[in-house]
Amino acid sequence: MTAREAILRDIRHNLGRGASLVAPVPPAARLNVPKVSISDRIELMLDRVIALAGRAVRVKSGADAVEYVAGVTGGRRSIASNSEFLREAGITALPGVASGVTDAEQLRGLCATADFGITSADYALADTGSLVMFASPADARLISLLPPVHIAVVPANRLLSGLDEFYTLVPKPADRTSSTVFITGPSRTADIEQLLIRGVHGPGEIHVVVVG
């Protein structure tokens, strides 16, 4: 008998279970998807992001999103993801914005020196103000994590009511991507003397632009 088998035997004994006992089938997941209009989702999303010390704005079109991003970045060094939505809106063509990068080392260097990281998002959760991002060639994780300021430009039709709706649409995220990241407000930590500090593990400033 191996050490592992001995440990499991002792655990079963203390729990009063036999070696042949079959684990019961887990209950079905309880997902509750509320009916929330798109206008209410947008309003809630903006409110939640602002409550988390982020900056949030709703714009009518891609052209308006370009104007907002240009005003924030001011031509300074920025790295944008390879999102088709950003490209179609014209954000990747802004002065100072690098995009279309596929080489990992080049991407790392650009993210390390950029003032702004610009991405889209696969989904957004209105009830928590969270961005849901799948790691992919279209939206590399590093762009939303390494630059000190993260700007996320999200189409309004990607806003979900919350986590339950997300798992209704994507019950097995691991089948779709190697990594799913939920971003809720600027990076923050209170590990040291319980003092809240922003920007330690990621961007200290976040902008969410909802388009539509």
Residues 39-66, mean pLDDT to the nearest whole number: 96
Does residue 22 surpass a pLDDT of 80? no
- Tell me the pLDDT tens digit for each residue of 175-208: 999 999 999 988 767 676 776 666 667 799 999 9
Does residue 5 sit within a domain?
Answer: no
Does residue 61 surpass a pLDDT of 80? yes
HEC states along the chain? CCHHHHHHHHHHHHHCCCCCCCCCCCCCCCCCCCCCCHHHHHHHHHHHHHHCCCEEEEECCHHHHHHHHHHHHCCCCEEECCCHHHHHHCHHHCCCEECCCCCHHHHHHHHHHCCEEEECCCEEECCCCEEEEECCCCCCHHHHHCCCEEEEEEEHHHEECCHHHHHHHCCCHHHCCCCEEEEECCCEECCCCCCCEECCCCCCEEEEEEEC
**Residue 63 has what pLDDT?**
96
Residues 78-92, mean pLDDT to the nearest whole number: 97
pTM for this model (two decimals):
0.84
**Residue 13 has what pLDDT?**
85
CATH number at residue 152: 3.40.50.10420
Does residue 72 surpass a pLDDT of 80? yes
Does residue 10 sit within a domain?
Answer: no
Does residue 21 sit within a domain?
Answer: no
Q: How many domains are contained in the chain? A: 1
Does residue 90 sit within a domain?
Answer: yes
Residue 132: pLDDT band (50, 70, 90) is very high
Residues 169-179, mean pLDDT to the nearest whole number: 92
- Tell me the pLDDT tens digit for each residue of 87-107: 999 999 999 999 999 999 999
**Domain extent at residue 152:** 36-211
Does residue 165 surpass a pLDDT of 80? yes
Does residue 126 sit within a domain?
Answer: yes
Does residue 1 sit within a domain?
Answer: no
**Residue 190 has what pLDDT?**
67
Does residue 18 sit within a domain?
Answer: no
Does residue 28 sit within a domain?
Answer: no
